[in-house]
């Protein structure tokens, strides 16, 4: 990576880390996903129940297999051939897991976490329930403010997520959100959350990684 690019990424990331800390989060910047892997494995107690949200970032870091190998029990249904009832049961388990592991759709320069969800289990578990929440985000998730965060989700993350999940939405056809033409049951976006400050009773660590990760 060119020194100018590295300088720019690290400067921006450090400003976001400072803003997150000012908002009460435990926040750390690591340059690579390998460093993030080591840090997160150390943050998760051995033997604990770990809920994992539908996050490409978490899978790209390789945490799922490593946790299983180490003996952690997981509450996650990614790519599993479960019935809807079984999936819902696992997602309810995530809400009371020892640790909940997820990414954030966007992280603002003033230290807020922006997310859009359909079912709500992911954003619900980020806010209250699990004893500890670990949020991992690549530098591609940094946005100026909540407005840009929602735009990012609707026009960058959502089309790729719909493609991944095999839905049928306007953003899949054009790459851009069209709220007027997107209605349930096809619509993926039902809930927007903006976590402005660390939720009062949730131990929350944000791991910002100096690489592009996830959608
Ligand atoms: S509201 Fe519909 S069109 Fe817009 S991003 Fe969500 S799924 Fe895509």
The CATH number for 67's domain is: 3.40.50.10420
Residue 215 maps to a domain? no
Tell me which residue range forms the domain holding 81. Answer: 3-209
| pLDDT tens digits, 21-47 | 999 999 999 999 999 999 999 999 999
Nearest-CA neighbor of 161 among 150, 151, 172, 170?
172
Residue 214 maps to a domain? no
- 81 has pLDDT over 80: yes
> CA-CA distances (angstroms) from residue 39 to 58, 147, 195?
13, 31, 23
pLDDT confidence of residue 80? 80
Q: Taking a C-beta distance cutoff of 8 angstroms, is the pair 76, 110 a contact?
A: no
Total length of the chain: 215
- Round the average pLDDT of the chain to a whole number and report it: 96
| pLDDT tens digits, 151-187 | 999 999 999 999 998 889 999 999 999 999 999 999 9
Give the confidence band of 146 by pLDDT, cuts at 50, 70, 90.
very high
Residue 90 maps to a domain? yes
Residue 36 maps to a domain? yes
Q: What is the largest CA-CA distance in the chain?
A: 51
- Of all protein residues, the one whose alpha carbon is nearest to atom 6 of ligand 1 is 189
Q: How far is the CA of 71 from the centre of ligand 1 (A)?
A: 38
Residue 156 maps to a domain? yes
- Of all protein residues, the one whose alpha carbon is nearest to atom 8 of ligand 1 is 171
Structural domain tally of the chain?
A: 1
């Amino acid at each position: 990576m060119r020194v100018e690019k590295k300088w720019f990424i690290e400067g921006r990331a450090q400003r976001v880390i400072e803003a997150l800390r000012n908002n009460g989060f435990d926040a750390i910047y690591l340059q690579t996903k390998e460093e993030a892997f080591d840090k997160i494995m150390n943050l998760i107690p051995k033997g604990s129940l770990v809920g994992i949200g539908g996050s490409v970032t978490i899978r790209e870091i390789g945490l799922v297999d490593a946790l299983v190998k180490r003996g952690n029990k997981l509450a996650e249904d990614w790519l599993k051939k479960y019935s809807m009832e079984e999936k819902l049961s696992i997602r309810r388990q995530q809400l009371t897991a020892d640790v909940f592991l997820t990414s954030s759709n966007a992280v603002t320069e003033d230290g807020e976490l922006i997310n859009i969800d359909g079912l709500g289990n992911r954003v619900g578990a980020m806010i209250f329930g699990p004893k500890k929440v670990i949020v991992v985000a690549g530098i591609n998730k940094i946005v100026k403010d909540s407005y840009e965060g929602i735009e990012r989700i609707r026009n960058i993350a959502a089309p790729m997520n719909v493609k991944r999940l095999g839905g049928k939405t306007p953003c899949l056809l054009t790459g851009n959100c069209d709220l007027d033409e997107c209605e349930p049951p096809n619509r993926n976006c039902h809930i927007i959350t903006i976590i402005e400050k660390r939720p009062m009773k949730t131990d929350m660590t944000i791991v910002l990684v100096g690489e592009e990760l996830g959608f």
